[in-house]
Amino acid sequence: MKQAIQAIESNGALRSALRRAVRCGDAVGHRAVDSFGAELQRQLRPRRLPDDVADAGMILLAQSKVDRTSPAVAEVPPPGELARHLGEPLGGGPDEPRRRLSALRFQRLLRASDSDDRLQLLRRAMALLPAKVHPLSVLEAWLDLHDEGGRRRFARAYFNSSTGDAPATSDDVSA
């Protein structure tokens, strides 16, 4: 991921092209994107992801709400960080708080029919954040949205943001 971030930061044309990308396929053809996809597949070896997942991951890393420059990027963020930020209560009643990402938008994100829809919805959700987020949090959320167990972890982190509960672990998902 460091190489992907460096490529985005050092190549203004690539960063600009990725930020303007509307579909996952818009990232195809850039050497940095291909390298990122190969490395992502190597890291997730037992799990086989479609090529557009890596392409969209690179698009998400290029977004303005991703912190690619601070020293904190070297640290590993807690699991579910992006989902918790999206689920932060902004007011409303204790039974039904108004969250940064509305419940309707959250449901649409979880039920997105394909990677292109998911990409568009996650980019819109990230635009609601008040501060930049860790790139690993973005990539973790993106990968979580591609399988049932991951979507449960994402939802648990989103809803636990208002209660202050600890982040969900992989043990919680299997139970």
In the chain, the amino acid numbered 170 is S
pLDDT score of 14 more than 80: yes
Q: Measure the N-to-C terminal CA separation of the chain; round to a whole number of Å.
A: 31
Rounded to an integer, the average pLDDT of 132-154 is 94
CB 162 within 8 A of CB 89: yes
CA distance 47 to 78: 22
Q: What is the pTM of this model?
A: 0.84
Most confident of 90-99, 134-143, 158-167: 134-143
Would you list the domain boundaries of the chain? 2-174
- Residue 165 confidence class, pLDDT cut points 50, 70, 90: very low
The 10s digit of each residue's pLDDT in 68-110 is 887 766 788 899 999 999 999 987 776 777 899 999 999 999 9
Domain 2-174 has CATH 1.10.10.10: no
- Taking the mean position of all CA atoms in its chain, how far away is CA 46? 21
CB 40 within 8 A of CB 68: no
